[in-house]
Amino acid sequence: MSIKKLFKSNKKLFILIFFMVFIGMAIDSLSQYLMTPAYNYLRNMNLLGFILFMCLALGCDAVRLGLISGSDYLYSKETQNYLHQIRKKLVAISLKTRLARLQKYKIVWLPILIN
């Protein structure tokens, strides 16, 4: 298992995850930037301006939370799918070796079973 193979397993999904995280971080920065005017309005006793900017900041935080949580979910899902593919390959290899051993011993044990 390597990060390159994990990325190559579904490139489109990883590009989507990257953009979701990138946009989420940009929205988080915007949310923090909106707090400065909100506090300025509060200091100037403008309650309506303060409430407006706080609502905008909370909206940005909600969008950021959705994007980051969605990207975490998609990454976890893709990682689990990749690990499932690895397990499937390991089981197939294990079954092949066990069947080869079984066939080998079947020939050896065949005279004993006949008697």
DSSP 44: T
Backbone angles phi, psi at 44, to 5 degrees: -85, 10
- pTM to 2 decimals? 0.72
Q: In terms of Cα–Cα distance, which of 60, 55, 67 is closest to 23?
A: 67
- Directed axis angle between helix 11-43 and helix 47-114, to 10°? 150
What does the domain layout of the chain look like in residue ranges? 11-114
Question: Tell me, what's the pLDDT at 115?
Answer: 47
End-to-end CA distance of the chain: 49
Q: In terms of Cα–Cα distance, which of 22, 15, 23, 6 is closest to 78?
A: 6
DSSP 1: -
Question: Tell me, what's the pLDDT at 50?
Answer: 95
Question: Tell me, what's the pLDDT at 53?
Answer: 94
Question: Tell me, what's the pLDDT at 94?
Answer: 81
For residues 20 and 12, what is the distance between their CA atoms, to the nearest angstrom? 12
Mean pLDDT of successive 10-residue segments in the chain (115 residues)?
A: 78 93 95 92 93 95 96 93 89 79 63 51
